[in-house]
Structure 1
Amino acid sequence: MNSGDAATESMMVWPAEDWATGLFQKLDPLPSGREPLRVEVVGGGPVGLSFACTLRAMMGDQVVVRVHDRRWKRQGNRVVWLGEAEGNHRREQVVTLQSNVWSTLPDLVRERLFAAGRFAEMWPLGPDSPAEKGRPRNVRIRWFEDCLLEMARDVYDIELVPGRYEVPETFGDTHILVVADGANSPTRTALSDHFGTPDRNFYSVGGEQLVETVLGIRVRGVFPDEYTVPLTVSQNRYLFNSLGGGFINMRLTTEEASELVAIGEDAPVECIRTYRCMMLPRADRFVCDRHRAVFKPSIDRLSFLWPRVLDGARLFGAGPRDILGITAFKLSMTQNARFTAQLGPGTFGFLIGDAANSLHFWPGRGLNTGVKSALSLAGTLRSRWRGRAFRSSDFSAHEGLMQQLQYREKSRAWTTMLMPDDDGTPRLIEDRLRAGLTGPHDRAELTRLLFERVKDVKARLSDRMGPVPGDDWYLRRINGLHVKTLAQLVESGPWITREIGGDEVAVHVDFPGAAAPVEPSWRHARTAHPVLAQAPLVEQVDPEQTTMTSLRDVLPALNA
């Protein structure tokens, strides 16, 4: 981006009608007396539960929703998440919700999700977060899931079914099957005769699907969240998404990924590389309690990877003792032929979330795209249900929007995986990182280049976000890096915001209030007891503690 483009973009205002493309629906009030719509949802993650809660908020008692998830179990009369010892590795990442997305969630969900201290606004305004809607909001994915699970059960009266969903031979009286069980969806695979098989060759290089390995470094927050934005946007090696601490996502080369080894008592074990286990700090090393294994780079003095991990933490102000956990995951994309299919007489199926569009995280659009797909489908079902069997034409607009989302978000993500050089030649990020290791290195020149880039990003974003520190603060962060890390950051290039920017696919649903759901007790108690806004909803383990807490544990004391 040249300076003229940067200056123009920094002053832009994005009225919704100028940039948004996609689906707009104005919904009329629902008539009474219709047969209820019967919906099965496979996958109780944030997208599946967002869809279920939104549909119930829209349709009230005119829809019956049941959600299945193999990561749940029954505990008395409640449904809760399986624990770590039971093989359920809860995600701890911080995710960003654009305001065009979070503003569409049901009012009660927004009220609970964005309780005081549960979100942060660190990213600037932009096309998918226009000024009239507000800034993007960061939340912990675990908190998002916990809120939705509790509200699905206690507010929206959704039936929650622990266990794996098995595709039946016939769907009986089910009108809608929503598949939201992740990128490797077994349900989508079982229904491949209807949806087709995702094409792995579509996003490939030299005939091989392009797959990136990313290290997730969980750190304790040291500086205000917004301070780190210019450091993140000025390079493509480390991405820090924060909420008083958070995850530094570190892109790895193939050689670095080969170091992702966990050592058991006698030999290497399948752990972080296969099961994405969270390695936790124990004295001078990082270990997986489940597999009783040690993360080898943390104890290997010859490791090339470990100094780069420490440098990534140092860039954002975190020292070795501020690293709270390490995990790893792989990122790739496939192309889907369709997202809507008729599964049987009177039954239609839909792919949403990662089951529909699994994205590279670098543009930060995965969850946003998933919630958009959920909102579009909920609005379509609400507007098209007439108490009788659907027709395929009822879903033309929704299927069209899903195809728009696939093109917009995957073309954006592909550009960040295969970034163009100054002359327009596509180049893999790991090739850039390797090039940064080629010496000799001129530290003074590398420092100057990265510092100028950070200052440019800071100036460009200054009027779209909160206050950030002076230039000297950023120079100190840069000066603390090893020269090889510094060279990799320079070589990786800044975020290509101009190339991946532009019109966004938006979903607007303007609907009158549906039948009110059950009023949650926490809503009435909040004024008298503000501490309730901080209470966790479903049973979970605080990473800093070992005690189990829940909303029900808090209420008796507050009401005493």
Structure 2
Amino acid sequence: MRIAVIGGGPAGLAFAATARLSGLSAEVTVYERNRVEDTYGFGVILPSAALDTLRPTDPDTADALAGELVEWDEVTVHRGERPLSVGAPRLGALSRRTLLTALRRRCAELGVRVEEGAAAPGPDALAEAHDLVVAADGAGSATRTAWADRFGTETERTAPDYVWLGAERAFPGLTFLVADTAEGPVVAHTYPYAPDRSTFLVEVPGGGGLPDTAGLARLFAEPLAGARLLENRSRWSRFLQVRNTAWSHRNVVLLGDAAHTAHYSIGSGTRLALDDATALAGALCSEGSLPAALSAYEERRRPAVEHTQRIGRASADWFAGLAGTEGSAPEKFLLELLTRGGRISLGDLAAEAAGTAPVGTVTGSG
């Protein structure tokens, strides 16, 4: 079986490695236009329990990634005079570059060929030359865009504007920093991914100019405590919601963000990518034909994906409606954030994290 994978992100690399390990007699080629050292972004959230899906097939990679995780089991809100924290399901994060390096190394060990530094051929050419084409080329997937009518693609840009940054310090866990301004609340979503680094994603309300990194550092000067904000191909954008009525057409299948996106405020993108990769490789092994395998993959994954998208949309809507909440008591505001104003249950959050830690008692800190 000849397989072409378009995109060398977590979804594409994890699938390539898992396909080689799953008993498929497969020749796998990954096309990735960027070098791993040029990867963008900072840390990505990956619950340790999510690695359990990968471990039965590839325990070496699961253990290697588990050893890189920075984990926490509380959520903190910093708004006003003092931060408040509450126990939450256990989560973890690691450097995106570390994740890609580990997956790339595993692919090399397993004989996956990686064509780096050049765009993949078009989907028609790849589909003609391969038994299976896996489009794992992200939310802006050129493959999906070229065949949008065949996949029934629907996309939507949603407010507010946001930018991915890093912070030169490790926050104690998942932390939401809220700065009330004349234009409305500015929110930073931050979490540690290394002993001295955190991801620092900032949302700003619409209608005004977008602040630069130095301006954001001044706005969040107190919680940053002197730490610098870092850029890495950082730019202002709006979240792209991606849905498809079909995840495959003939011998081309969508994987990860190319098939579906879930709002960044619930931190599920990497977990969904790894789960997709494992499910697709498993379906290819267990089903008797390629059409049956692609159908089984979608049937197994779509319910979980749509559940996560629903939670993500509810979370995004709550953050977009923060204006007017400035006077909320800190304890009330923290609990409303956890449940996104009643739109999300605590059970939903626990399921998304794939953990069992109960939500604890609100405590003050600082």
Q: TM-score range by the shorter chain?
A: 0.7 to 0.9
Task: For structure 2, list consecutive stretches of 5 or more residues without a partner in the other structure.
Answer: 76-88, 179-184, 355-366
Question: Contact between 1:358 and 1:366, CA under 8 Å: does it hold in 2?
Answer: yes
Q: Once the two structures are superposed, what CA deviation does each residue of 1:135-180 show, in whole Å capped at 9, x if it has no partner?
A: 4321111110111112211x11101112111224473452211000
Pair 1:350 & 2:253 matched: yes
Q: Out of 207, 229, 246, which is 2:198 matched to?
A: 246
Alignment check: 8 A CA contact 1:54 1:378 kept: yes
Contact 2:188 2:200 in 1 (8 A): yes
TM-score (norm 2): 0.77
Superposition pairs of residues 101-180 of structure 1, within 5 angstroms:
101-105=50-54, 106-115=58-67, 118-123=68-73, 135-153=90-108, 155-162=109-116, 163-167=118-122, 168-169=124-125, 171-172=127-128, 174-180=130-136
Residue 53 of structure 2 aligns to a residue whose secondary structure is coil
Q: Secondary structure at the match of 1:338?
A: coil
Is the contact made by 1:122 and 1:229 (CA closer than 8 Å) also made in structure 2? no
User: Take 1:175 and 1:219, find their aligned partners in 2: how far apart are those partners?
Assistant: 44
SS of the residue 2:266 aligns to:
coil
Residues 459-538 of structure 1 mapped to structure 2, 5 A cutoff: 494-496=337-339, 499-501=343-345, 502=347, 504=351
Task: Select 1:384's aligned residue among 267, 284, 287.
Answer: 287
Q: State the AA in 1 paired with 2:22.
A: M
Q: Which runs of 4+ in 1 moved over 6 A?
A: none
CA-CA distance at 1:222 after TM superposition: 5.2
- Are the structure 2 counterparts of residues 506 and 112 from structure 1 closer, same or farther at C-alpha, using a change threshold of 3 Å? closer
Name the residue aligned to 2:363.
none
Q: What root-mean-square deviation, in Å, do the aligned CA atoms of Structure 1 and Structure 2 show?
A: 3.2
Distance 2:28 2:268 in 1: 27
| 2:210 paired residue number | 259
Q: Residues of 1 paired with 2:163 and 2:321: CA distance? A: 17
Deviations 1:229-260 (A, max 9, x none): 5879xx9922111123212212111234x335
* Structure in which a larger fraction of residues adopt strand: 2
Count matched residues: 322
Separation in structure 2 between the aligned mates of residue 251 and residue 231 of structure 1, nearest angstrom: 10
Which whole-Å CA distance do the structure 1 matches of 2:149 and 2:343 have between them? 37
Once the two structures are superposed, residues 509-537 of structure 1 have per-residue CA deviations (whole angstroms, 9 ceiling, x without a partner) of xxxxxxxxxxxxxxxxxxxxxxxxxxxxx
Q: Is the 8 A contact 2:262 2:269 kept in 1?
A: yes
Distance in 2 (alpha carbons) for counterparts of 1:213 and 1:505: 25
In the alignment, what sits opposite 2:167?
219
- 8 Å Cα contact 2:284-2:290 kept in structure 1: no
Report the Cα offset of residue 309 of structure 1. Answer: 4.2
The 1:400/1:259 distance shift into structure 2, 3 A limit, reads: same
Aligned-partner SS, 2:14: helix
Offset of residue 99 of structure 1:
3.4
1:173-192 alignment runs, 5 A limit: 174-192=130-148
The one-letter code of the counterpart of 1:382 is: C
Identity of aligned residues (%): 21
Distance 1:236 1:114, change over 3 A: farther
Larger radius of gyration: 1
Aligned to 2:79: none
Partner of 1:66: 29
- 1:310 shift after superposition: 3.0
CA distance in structure 1 between the aligned counterparts of 2:290 and 2:22, rounded to whole angstroms: 21
Contact 1:49–1:149 (8 Å) recurs in 2:
yes
Shift of residue 396, structure 1, vs aligned partner:
3.0
Report the CA distance between 1:71 and its aligned residue: 1.1
Work out the CA distance in 1 between the residues paired with 2:314 and 2:279. Answer: 26
Asked whether the 8 Å contact 1:236–1:494 carries over to 2, the reply is: no
**Matched residues in 1 for 2:261 and 2:286: separation?**
27
TM-score scaled by length of structure 1: 0.52
